[in-house]
Amino acid sequence: MRWSLALAQVVAERMRWSLALAQVVAVLVMWIGGASGVFPINVCPCSKRSLCQPLPAKLQFQVEVLIFDFGGTDYQYYDWSKITAVVIGDAFNPDLLCVAHANNARVIMKGNIPSAELKDRDMIKAWIRQKVDFASASFFDGIYLEQWQKIKGGTVEYEAITQLINDIARVFHRAIPGSQVSINVPWSPHCIDGPCYDYVPIASSCDFLFVMSVHMRSETGDECFAKANAPYDHTYTGLSAYINLGIDSRKLVMGVPWYGNDYLCKHFQEPGRCRLETVSSEGGSCTFSISTPKPYKDIMQELPKSFTGRYWDDNYKSPYYVYKLADEYHEVWYDDPESLSLKATIMKKLKLRGIGAWFGGFLNYSVNPTAAMQTEDMWNALCPIRRKWSV
């Protein structure tokens, strides 16, 4: 959880609110609070009213490519030829909606499942209605659900989440034809870390499960050394485990990180042997609370200044490097075009629904030629091309 908060802080530092955003939020708050039931027609932020219409149900893709966005203007430089959907956070730039729809990409709002209210059916029904009304009024194309608290099987909450997903998918699909309903799930279905769900019926109810094939280091519980954020083998076996439950592989989207983890070495022996301070936790002695998330664009600026340069670990199929700051050694493990391209092949091997990257703003969109090439390579590593088809 502390690691998630650290990542949230990195994201927050890069959030940039616009005046238009503030105006839209103010209108939305007044609309929800007044329960008028009708959203003012002039709130559409686009030059063409047609761009404020959700994408039709017939527009589907052979490969889904999701990008998570946290506000600002970086969306202008995304490779829209590859994106099928953008998941937005609270810091939402309204112009992104226009650009996304102009490029036949869906705009998906985030919704944090109210874990504390799961036992109260009336409150959950009201929460679902509020979310679908908000999405309709905002011209969004669906909802991406998050839930970070651990939930044990056999509990009331465990059953309630299954019912909630079924209900919210049914309501969204009816209210917004073509809308997309998904939920994030841990990298493995074996309840190793994070929430635990009844995955088969949930996958059947919603459009797909977004598998968080990131920050797996917290579950290894082995000798405490800095290691890869998202090892290839863990990624493959975690996704395979979902399929082995009986879930259709086309109901799975693989999440990958556009960031790395910076570890402070308690004892540095050599590259790849950065011993860490042990932290007692339920998942083991090594958790992500002992690392700091670092965006890919910052890694690319720091890497040339490191005293090791880029190393590659064949076991994890992941790069890393070591730098020294104030007489302390740091080891940074991350994903780059080579490691991401290898993970992207898992989509073809397992016939997955698609892939998604955390976060779009973690790449460098400056005019610097080197940065531009690095950013292009990261986009290409996700998916070489996007093919559209209708059903």
212-225: pLDDT as tens digits: 998 776 544 557 89
**Burial class, 355, CB count within 10 angstroms (exposed 0-12 / middle 13-18 / buried 19+):** buried
Q: Quick one: pLDDT at residue 286?
A: 63
- Among 272, 256, 257, 293, smallest CA distance to 223 is for 272
Contacts of residue 207, defined as CB under 8 A and 6 or more positions apart, other chains included, come to 142, 169, 180, 181, 182, 251
Q: Which amino acid is at 305?
A: K
Residue scoring higher pLDDT (391 or 333): 333
Tell me what percent of the residues of the chain surpass a pLDDT of 70: 82
**282 has a pLDDT exceeding 70:** no
**19 has a pLDDT exceeding 70:** no
* Beta strands 208-212 and 252-257, pairing class: parallel
Superfamily of chain region 2-260+340-386: Glycosidases (3.20.20.80)
The pLDDT mean for the chain works out to 85
Residue scoring higher pLDDT (65 or 6): 65
Mean pLDDT on 321-345: 96
Q: Quick one: pLDDT at residue 386?
A: 53
Residue 154's pLDDT band, with cuts at 50, 70 and 90, is: confident
* Total-model pTM: 0.87
Residue 151's pLDDT band, with cuts at 50, 70 and 90, is: confident
Tell me what percent of the residues of the chain surpass a pLDDT of 90: 69
- Six token digits for residue 104: 């036949």
Residue scoring higher pLDDT (149 or 132): 132
- Among 182, 113, 106, smallest CA distance to 143 is for 182
**14 has a pLDDT exceeding 70:** no
Which range (27-36, 48-57, 265-274, 288-297) has the least confidence? 27-36
Contact 145, 111 (CB under 8 A): yes
Q: Where are the domains of the chain?
A: 2-260+340-386
Q: Quick one: pLDDT at residue 157?
A: 87
Q: Quick one: pLDDT at residue 211?
A: 96
Q: Which amino acid is at 82?
A: K
Residue 290's pLDDT band, with cuts at 50, 70 and 90, is: confident
Q: DSSP assignment of 232-281, as one string?
A: HHHHHHHHHHHHHTT--GGGEEEEEESEEEEEE-SEEEETTEEE------
Per-residue pLDDT tens over the stretch 53-104 = 999 999 989 899 999 998 999 999 999 999 999 999 888 899 999 999 999 9
**228 has a pLDDT exceeding 50:** yes
Report the alpha-carbon distance of residue 299 to residue 387 in Å, rounded.
31
